[in-house]
Structure 1
Amino acid sequence: MKKNRWLIVAISSLVLSSCSQYNQEPANDGQQEQEEPSDNETSAPSDSSPSNDEQDEQEDQEPSEDDELPEDETEDQNEEDTMSLPSEYFNEIEEVDGQPVIQNPNNILTFVNHDYHLPSDYVPEDLVIPDVKFSYGHQDIPKSYMREEAAGALEALFAGAKEENIELAAVSGYRSYDRQQELYDQAVARSGADQEFVANPGSSEHQSGLAMDVSSASVNYGLVQEYEDTEEGQWLADNAHHFGFIIRYQKEKEDITGYGYEPWHLRYVGEAAIEIYENQLALEEFFDLVKEI
């Protein structure tokens, strides 16, 4: 098609060149305007069919089915594609004793918060101790455990940090429903019922086995908000998503998550971490936007 078009253009150029030898007067602007009728005028029908050049121009102006979408429409389409998930990654909820309880807690994207609770008897079946540094040494105690996939990702995260001379230590992972009840009661006794750092039993991500609190020697391995100002805390905020983790309770998202800012709390969400990080979303916002397929 391109060869034919160039041939037509070449022939037309020769014809125009020959005509110019006999007609040296330039075309009149008014005549050109008359040849193109206005919106409320119609042109007389022509006995002759459009020239090849005119046909080519019409073809160029009329998009074909093979034409690509404009860039902004393509971006919108890509965003729709990336912001969708199979139904298996969404909570299946049943009301139990007046509370919404998650029926598929083994889901890697289990969405746990004040509104969606884990079953009181839920204990992940694939809990393992990740091969990382712990703030209290390597001990076989419940809070050392994570689900196997999350544990492997944590090992990769710690290895990545070490390559950049960033020292991290795991502090608290899996937590049973009963242990969460103890911690919640202590927090309420200490700070009142409106405290915003310790979850109600059943609504803690620690029970899912997909969360790990992380700290460093720079803050004496404490779980404190000042951790965000340390080199280690900043590295974690900038790089955790590369390993499938998000900072679950973000700064200035307290009204959305229902919890205070916790720069130490890592939640494993797998590949979704990239989308969540790049769009600076809380997990609540992510599930408000993502489409079920």
Structure 2
Amino acid sequence: MRDPRPVHGRACASAVVLLVVVGLLAACASATPAGGDAAPVPEGVTSPAGRDPAADDPSSPGPAPGAQGGHAGDRGPDLSAHSPDDPSSPWVVVNKARPLDRAYVPELTEVRGYLLHPAAATDLTALLAAAEEDGVHLTVRSAYRSAEYQARVHDGWVAQLGRERAEQVSARPGHSEHQTGLAVDLGSTTQPGCDFSDCFGSTPEGRWLVEHATDFGFLLRYTAANQDLTGFAPEGWHLRHVGRELSAHLARERVDTLEELFDVPGGDRYP
């Protein structure tokens, strides 16, 4: 049905409606904050893309000092949880500058006829089993040593190599990680002649340890890259247990030594 009102009446009505709409739009515009910024996102609410708008704001403060990105579990271990000075600590640092009391004896258990700290023994058992599954057959060649036993080992190397060279490959009593019960020397079944020798690193067993030792909480403690800090020549067969969390943290952060991690002295000189 046509509108019975005169044309000029309809035109006037349309003009009134238009003025009302324009007024409403102007009122909405005046409600927008100065500068045209959008209303702030409530705390804890992210943008539709799942991104925190503050992340794009260059004036927004960054993470707190010491915090790392990612989930809370990616922040690494609490490095104050265990002391690098306590001989019973899983993170104790022993080297030429940091001796143990020669009378110290740790808690010990047995793996394949060798004594180790229980925490290290559990992870070593898992490591050996995983290697077997991969067709790699490692042997255990040495583990816990008392200070008295270490004295005999060191004297033997001095007699064989001379003191200068022996000091690079064998610790004096009280300065050996083996006394903590957290260190183990492994051997090769494919090339047993490389045990305790530089060529161990080129054996299938040595290569497997490079790839997998940290998965089980162990460090290849002595390498060519860290010799100046650890004080000892490379030993691809010598593993030091620190636990899976710390070994993963060291690998992730690409930190080579416990000396660096805990900021403690090392080097190739005895006190």
Task: Tell whether the 8 Å contact from 2:219 to 2:242 is kept in structure 1 after alignment.
Answer: yes
Match of 1:169 in 2: 139
Match of 1:12 in 2: none
Percent identical: 31
TM-superposed deviation, 1:77: 1.8
Structure 2: gaps of 5 or more residues? 1-17, 47-51, 265-271
> Aligned partner of 1:117: which letter?
P
TM-superposed deviation, 1:63: 8.1
> Aligned partner of 2:30: which letter?
S
> 1:20-169 maps to which residues of 2 (within 5 A)?
51-54=30-33, 57-59=36-38, 66=44, 68=52, 70=55, 73=62, 77-78=67-68, 81-82=75-76, 84-87=78-81, 89-92=82-85, 104-124=86-106, 126-130=107-111, 132=112, 139=113, 144-169=114-139
Task: Tell whether the 8 Å contact from 1:105 to 1:118 is kept in structure 2 after alignment.
Answer: yes
Match of 1:239 in 2: 212
Rounded to whole Å, the distance in 1 between the matches of 2:30 and 2:171 is 76
TM-superposed deviation, 1:86: 2.5
Structure 1 residues 173, 277: CA separation in 2 closer, same or farther (over 3 Å shift)?
Answer: same
From 215, 226, 242, give the equivalent of 2:187. 215
Rounded to whole Å, the distance in 1 between the matches of 2:30 and 2:170 is 78
TM-score by length of structure 2 reads 0.71
Task: Tell whether the 8 Å contact from 1:176 to 1:207 is kept in structure 2 after alignment.
Answer: yes
Match of 1:24 in 2: none
CA RMSD in angstroms, aligned pairs only: 3.1
> Aligned partner of 2:228: which letter?
D
Question: Secondary structure of the equivalent of 1:265?
Answer: strand
Structure 1 residues 63, 223: CA separation in 2 closer, same or farther (over 3 Å shift)?
Answer: farther
Structure 1 residues 65, 129: CA separation in 2 closer, same or farther (over 3 Å shift)?
Answer: same
TM-superposed deviation, 1:91: 3.2
TM-score by length of structure 1 reads 0.66
Task: Tell whether the 8 Å contact from 1:210 to 1:267 is kept in structure 2 after alignment.
Answer: yes
User: Can you list the C-alpha shifts for 1:200-221, whole angstroms capped at 9, x where unaligned?
Assistant: 1101000111010011112216
> Aligned partner of 2:68: which letter?
N
From 129, 141, 162, give the equivalent of 1:192. 162
Rounded to whole Å, the distance in 1 between the matches of 2:256 and 2:248 is 10
Rounded to whole Å, the distance in 1 between the matches of 2:55 and 2:221 is 36
Match of 1:284 in 2: 259
Structure 1 residues 262, 64: CA separation in 2 closer, same or farther (over 3 Å shift)?
Answer: farther
Rounded to whole Å, the distance in 2 between the matches of 1:63 and 1:84 is 33
Rounded to whole Å, the distance in 1 between the matches of 2:41 and 2:169 is 57
Question: Secondary structure of the equivalent of 2:87?
Answer: coil
Structure 1: gaps of 5 or more residues? 1-14, 20-47, 93-103, 133-138
Structure 1 residues 167, 70: CA separation in 2 closer, same or farther (over 3 Å shift)?
Answer: farther
TM-superposed deviation, 1:288: 2.3
From 160, 166, 174, give the equivalent of 1:202. 174
> Aligned partner of 1:177: which letter?
A
Question: Secondary structure of the equivalent of 2:151?
Answer: helix
TM-superposed deviation, 1:70: 4.0
Task: Tell whether the 8 Å contact from 2:128 to 2:138 is kept in structure 1 after alignment.
Answer: yes
Task: Tell whether the 8 Å contact from 1:246 to 1:277 is kept in structure 2 after alignment.
Answer: no
> Aligned partner of 1:128: which letter?
T
Rounded to whole Å, the distance in 1 between the matches of 2:37 and 2:226 is 54
TM-superposed deviation, 1:269: 0.2
Count of paired positions = 220
**Larger RCO of the pair (alpha carbons < 8 Å, separation 6+):** 2
Match of 2:267 in 1: none
> Aligned partner of 1:288: which letter?
D
